[in-house]
Amino acid sequence: MSTSDLCSESRFVQGRLLVEGVPVEDIGRALGTPVYVYSGGAIRARYRALAGAFSGRDALICYALKANPNRAVCRVLAREGAGAEVVSGGELKRALAAGFAAERIVFSGVGKTEAEHELAVRAGVLTLNVESEEELDALSAVARRLKRRAPVSIRVNPGVDAGGHRHIATGHGEAKFGVDAASALVLSRRAWRDPHLAFRGLHCHIGSQILSAAPYLRALAVLERLLARLRALGARPSLLDLGGGLGIPYGDGARRDGLEPAAFARKLLPALAAWPELKLILEPGRYLVGEAGLLLTRILYRKRIGGSRFIVVDAAMNDLARPALYGAYHPVVPARLREAPEVVADVVGPVCETGDVLARARRLPWLPRGELLAVLKTGAYGFSMASQYNSRPRPPEALVEGARWRVVRRREGFADLVRHER
């Protein structure tokens, strides 16, 4: 067990884990467990560091709502001046409700429906990132019917393998996303010549949990060659969207290579010097909110089977899917430091799946029933991927601001499980 994985706004004080000025035990006592806890201060600090690093040029940081779409979390970033990146009509409505300006929203997604195209065009989003020839035709038809010009960027699949789990790598040639460079050139020409479309520029998104600037530079080289050809043909793009994917260190031995905001900007900005007229868009999600959240859970039982030890907690894979889905690593610490022998144990949930393991083979204090553990760095793709599997109601969410906290999503109950059944 290590306390070095705590985010900048969390610390132990007199043996108690605090998020900003609030002991997490207090939140667990008030709301029960499991419960997600987020630090508003940590989210703001990450956004300000990244936005500040790119303040030397026209740049827009668009928060990827998929990471954590809670409206209170979104409002923190909207009030900071962030834009938003959305991938569904539901996310677009959430973004607008949270206060993101429509002209600072980009709409991505490989399978947008006609209704989503119409919603985005009527809302006045900054751009729709189109991912196929047929989508371009469909969007043009919607714009023609609405008697408007739809803003369009072409999503390029640059053939860059950014590493990481294959389920979250989106820029390699076998992924379903975007179009190849040759097709992107054709679609860009069609877009700027279509009277119902307003060609904005190029977009790519090469993956998630990327811990090096090198894949971004390789993708940028592909986009720059396309931009040069478009410029030679007379096009005047105004946007260059490099997507998201900026990773965080989860404490599993992976290190961040040059992705602190200032270092990342120093590597990226020189490569963009030839294109000062383009607004740069970045779409971070995990990078902004991942380290700002934790999942608080209570120890139900301890057991041994042969030489293995298990700590059974009340959180499960339905609350936090990443470990079961990707084999993802999340640090685990007790909410209160106590004298107890340290053992190597698996932290497991109550769900009837062998894969319901939140943490495998961790050195942790062998604490008794009722003690609280904090699963760290769960602010991204935690609640947003939660389900009601095993008819387990989803947990509440709380947002901490200084010495105060509030519920930003209540705990579900049985009525929520059956609400839409007949």
Task: List pLDDT tens digits, range 346-369.
Answer: 999 999 999 999 999 999 999 999
Alpha-carbon gap, residue 244 to 318, rounded angstroms = 26
Residues with a known catalytic role: 352
Does the pLDDT of residue 167 top 50, yes or no? no
- Kindly report the length of the chain: 422
Global pTM value: 0.94
Q: What is the mean pLDDT of residues 189-206?
A: 96
**Residues 320 and 184 placed together within one structural domain of the fold:** no
pLDDT at position 170, please?
Answer: 43
Does the pLDDT of residue 44 top 80, yes or no? yes
Confidence band of 253 (pLDDT split at 50, 70, 90):
low
Share of the chain above pLDDT 70, in %: 94
Domain of residue 161 covers 108-284
262-268: Cβ within 8 A, 24+ apart: 262/49, 262/53, 263/213, 264/53, 264/213, 265/53, 265/54, 265/56, 267/213, 267/217, 268/213, 268/216, 268/217, 268/220, 268/242
Note whether residue 87 is domain-resident.
no
**Average pLDDT of the chain, as a whole number:** 94
Note whether residue 414 is domain-resident.
yes
Note whether residue 46 is domain-resident.
no
Q: In sequence order, what DSSP letters do the residues of 232-264 get, joined into one string? A: HTT----EEE----B----SSS---BS-SHHHH
Does the pLDDT of residue 171 top 80, yes or no? no
**Residues 149 and 234 placed together within one structural domain of the fold:** yes
Does the pLDDT of residue 13 top 50, yes or no? yes
Bridge-based pairing state of the strands 197-203 and 22-23: unpaired
**Residues 144 and 267 placed together within one structural domain of the fold:** yes
pLDDT at position 415, please?
Answer: 98
CATH number of the domain to which 140 belongs = 3.20.20.10
**Residues 248 and 163 placed together within one structural domain of the fold:** yes
Note whether residue 3 is domain-resident.
no
**Residues 392 and 331 placed together within one structural domain of the fold:** yes
**Residues 14 and 146 placed together within one structural domain of the fold:** no
Of the listed ranges 81-85, 211-215, 233-237, the one predicted with least confidence: 211-215
Strand partners, 198: 151
Of 216, 249, 284, the domain-final residue:
284
Confidence band of 8 (pLDDT split at 50, 70, 90):
confident
Distances (CA, A) of 356 to 265, 305, 308: 39, 16, 16
Note whether residue 409 is domain-resident.
yes
Coil, helix or strand for 368? coil
Q: What is the mean pLDDT of residues 144-171?
A: 76
Note whether residue 131 is domain-resident.
yes
Of 233, 261, 284, the domain-final residue:
284
Give how many domains the chain has, as a whole number. 2
Note whether residue 66 is domain-resident.
no
Alpha-carbon gap, residue 377 to 100, rounded angstroms = 25
**Residues 350 and 400 placed together within one structural domain of the fold:** yes
CATH number of the domain to which 316 belongs = 2.40.37.10
Does the pLDDT of residue 392 top 80, yes or no? yes
**Residues 123 and 217 placed together within one structural domain of the fold:** yes
The tens digit of pLDDT for each residue in 271-294 reads 999 999 999 999 999 999 999 999
In what helix (H) or strand (E) does residue 363 lie, and over which residues does it extend? strand 357-365
Q: In sequence order, what DSSP letters do the residues of 10-60 get, joined into one string? A: EEEETTEEEETTEEHHHHHHHH-SSEEEEEHHHHHHHHHHHHHHTTTS-EE
pLDDT at position 159, please?
Answer: 85
Of the listed ranges 90-104, 252-266, 359-373, 395-409, the one predicted with least confidence: 252-266
The tens digit of pLDDT for each residue in 63-106 reads 999 999 999 999 999 999 999 999 999 999 999 999 999 999 99
Q: What is the mean pLDDT of residues 241-269?
A: 83
Alpha-carbon gap, residue 215 to 206, rounded angstroms = 8
**Residues 279 and 309 placed together within one structural domain of the fold:** no
Of 228, 251, 284, the domain-final residue:
284
pLDDT at position 207, please?
Answer: 86
Note whether residue 116 is domain-resident.
yes
**Residues 205 and 272 placed together within one structural domain of the fold:** yes
Does the pLDDT of residue 254 top 70, yes or no? no
Strand partners, 184: none
Does the pLDDT of residue 166 top 80, yes or no? no
Nearest to 346 by CA among 386, 377, 302, 315: 302
3 Cβ contact list (under 8 Å, min separation 6): 12, 333
The tens digit of pLDDT for each residue in 292-316 reads 999 999 999 999 999 999 999 999 9
**Residues 232 and 365 placed together within one structural domain of the fold:** no
**Residues 294 and 250 placed together within one structural domain of the fold:** no
Of the listed ranges 14-18, 69-73, 130-134, 159-163, the one predicted with least confidence: 159-163
Does the pLDDT of residue 267 top 80, yes or no? yes
